[in-house]
Amino acid sequence: MGTETILTRYAAGERSFPLLNLQEAKLIKVSLSNVDLTSADLRQARLGRSNFSHACLRSADLSESILWGTDLTQADLSQAVLREADLSGAILTQANLERANLIKAILEGANFSGAKLCHALMIEVDLRPASDYRTNLSQVDLSHADLSYANLSMALLYQAKLDGARLCRANLSVGRGKTALATDLTEVSLRGADLSYANLTGAILHKVDLTGADLTGTVLTDADLKEAIMPDGILYEDS
């Protein structure tokens, strides 16, 4: 089924298009809110600036797809494959990405506020800010997600949940240059997280909970640990 047929049938009120092969499809600046594309093949598809809010993309393959500025508000992307996809500036507020594969995805300036990313694979993802705005991971559930080697420099993670997450060798350091901002982990829960050899230089760690976290080789130079709970459960004291 081609994209024109899908758009025509969608305009006529149809919403269910599971298991479709839409590899390399071009669906730019179209509105497909509430569409059901469960297990669809969308590899290398161009979906920039489109509206997929409330869509069901569960188990869909979006590897290497382009989703610049795409609206995925409250979309179901659980178990979806987004390996090496470009979601720069995408809107993923309250989206479900549980167990999604986001390895090496570009997520610069994306808004994940309130999203669920439990058990997501996010190895080597790029979460640095875009030119106009920071990547927003505020209040996101990243419990047990794998963010090893991820670049989270200058990201906003206010009240995010990262219990049991892997952040081995992740970059959470303050940015560089005139517009440099500190990575904000205020009130983040990192209970039992693996932060071994991660770089948190200059990071804001106000009231962060590091109970049981692995800080082997972690760089905390100039990090602000005011009222932080350290791995041993004791409140941080600035010496």
Task: For residue range 47-81, list pLDDT tens digits in order.
Answer: 999 999 999 999 999 999 999 999 999 999 999 99
Mean local confidence (pLDDT), 176-204: 93
State the pLDDT at residue 97: 98
Give the residue among 86, 88, 78, 158 at the shortest CA–CA distance from 121: 78
pLDDT value at 175 more than 90: no
Residue 176, exposed/middle/buried by CB under 10 A (0-12, 13-18, 19+)?
Answer: exposed
CB atoms within 10 A of CB 186: 18
SS3 of residue 113 by DSSP: coil
State the pLDDT at residue 133: 82
State the pLDDT at residue 239: 60
What average pLDDT is seen over the chain? 96
pLDDT value at 95 more than 80: yes
Share of the chain above pLDDT 70, in %: 99
State the pLDDT at residue 210: 98
Place of tokens 């071994």: 196
Mean local confidence (pLDDT), 131-157: 94
pLDDT value at 103 more than 90: yes
Give the residue among 65, 93, 62, 97 at the shortest CA–CA distance from 79: 97
Contacts of 77 (CB under 8 A, 6+ apart): 57, 58, 60, 92, 95, 96, 97, 100
Where does the pLDDT of residue 167 fall: very low under 50, low under 70, confident under 90, or very high at 90 and above? very high
State the pLDDT at residue 178: 67
pLDDT value at 177 more than 90: no
Q: Which amino acid is at 226?
A: K
State the pLDDT at residue 73: 98
Where does the pLDDT of residue 122 fall: very low under 50, low under 70, confident under 90, or very high at 90 and above? very high
pLDDT value at 89 more than 70: yes
